[in-house]
Amino acid sequence: MAAFFTLLTLDAYLRLRSEEQWAVPYFVLSAVLLYHSHYGAFFPTVAALVMHLFLSRVQRRVLHRFLVALLLTAVLVLPWASFMRVLNRGQPFQLDRFLAHLGQHFLYITAWIFPLILALILLVAWSRPRSSGTGFALNPAQTMFCQVAGLVILVNILMLAASAGFDWVFFRYVAHLIPLLLAMLAIVVVLMMERRPVAAYTLLLVLVVSNGLHLLPYGLPGAERLHATELWPGSPAFQALGEVWIQAGRFRSDAWMYAQELTHSYEGPNEGLLAYLSAHAKPGQTVVINYEDLPLMFYTDLCVLGGPSGRGLASEPKPDWVINRKYGPYRDRLAAIVATGSYERIEIPYPDIRWENRPQPGVHHYLTVQSEDNVILYKQRGD
């Protein structure tokens, strides 16, 4: 929804600049819906549009219409602002985390969506005039879109990274920018088609079948060691940035890997546990698990305890099932429950990985993981 309403807000802004009828209510509706779908995207988007309007030349009546639209939007949005969570549990601003998380967002964008090297083509297109005959010519529509998209992307990255700097960094925080980034990618291809068709078709082929262009500069010799040098301080945030840098520098073909994923069955820990417990556990039995308890709650008739918070671990009698996930918390406490009871150890052929699977680039598994230990669960004897 955030991606959709971001596009609608940009479209409404362009129509407002063109003085189209109903542009003001269109903008207000789009902006308000953007706020309620992702307020982290709303504020930098609106800020980018304000900056763009005041930096460009517009007639006075267009400026007045835009200010009216902003005022109406503020009236409908600001009463909700008191419910926003901006700071992470009241922790103070930390510059190192801000910079590291900003770097992660930049890496996600340039290593998985818009290759950093292609930004040079846009710079050439903007810097060389049409009359030179040597540069790329942008028509008015392309020029307007590039300006707006570039400004929105910049401000969004800064705003999202600032808010994520107090919490975590996930690719989904910048997912609403994907349509804009892909549109800019299409503009680059079209610009090259107009001047150098062979190079453009080669570029298109490389973009479709591999991440060859996305590797620059992350796949250069020695780049994988940058995270271990003095360039990355020892804070966890910068360590995570180094890990993303390593993932960005690995050659891949998304098209081929998606084909593999569609033609091969993927098996994860939740699927394995649900299949086994559905076949062997009795309704109403108690299972204690230290991680990913919600799938068991939803898909089985078992009494599920534990979870990340460890709720119910002090209850008696001993649980019928104990699942001590490898990447979960309080593993020692679950091991003690098993040690003080009479349990049968059961190993099922499903990898005990951290997550079932994630769409996030760099951690998504296209095929079943083979390099991890299998899931272990314990059944109380006599049940």
pLDDT in tens, 68-78: 999 999 999 98
Which of 29-33, 113-117, 231-235, 306-310 has the lowest average pLDDT? 231-235
Average pLDDT over residues 152-156: 63
Q: Give the pLDDT score at 287.
A: 95
Pairing of strands 321-323, 286-289: parallel
**Given a cut of 80, is residue 284 above it in pLDDT?**
yes
Bond before 221 cis per omega within 30 degrees: no
Crossing angle for the helix pair 60-77 and 2-17, to the nearest 10 degrees? 150
Return d(Cα 155, Cα 47) in angstroms, integer. Answer: 8
DSSP three-state, residue 312:
coil
Structure-token pair, residue 225: 């060691």
**pTM of whole model > 0.85?**
no
Q: In what order do the strands lie in the sheet with 343-351?
A: 303-306, 286-289, 321-323, 374-380, 343-351
Average pLDDT over residues 56-65: 85
- Identify which of 51-65, 154-168, 210-224, 343-357 has the greatest average pLDDT: 343-357
Q: Give the pLDDT score at 228.
A: 46
Which of 15-19, 152-156, 278-282, 339-343 has the lowest average pLDDT? 152-156
**Given a cut of 80, is residue 144 above it in pLDDT?**
no
Which of 137-151, 185-199, 368-382 has the lowest average pLDDT? 137-151
pLDDT in tens, 68-107: 999 999 999 988 887 776 555 556 667 777 777 788 888 8
Instruction: Answer for the pair 343, 349: CB distance below 8 angstroms, yes or no.
Output: no
Q: Give the pLDDT score at 34.
A: 93
Q: Give the pLDDT score at 131.
A: 45
SS3 of 8-72: HHHHHHHHHHCCCCCHHHHHHHHHHHHHHHCHHHHHHHHHHHHHHHHHCCCCHHHHHHHHHHHHH
Q: Is 83 exposed, middle or buried (0-12, 13-18, 19+ CB in 10 A)?
A: exposed
Report CA Rg, the chain.
26
Q: Give the pLDDT score at 189.
A: 86
pLDDT in tens, 156-210: 666 666 556 556 778 887 888 888 888 888 888 887 887 889 988 999 999 999 9
Return d(Cα 226, Cα 103) in angstroms, integer. Answer: 13
Q: Give the pLDDT score at 153.
A: 65
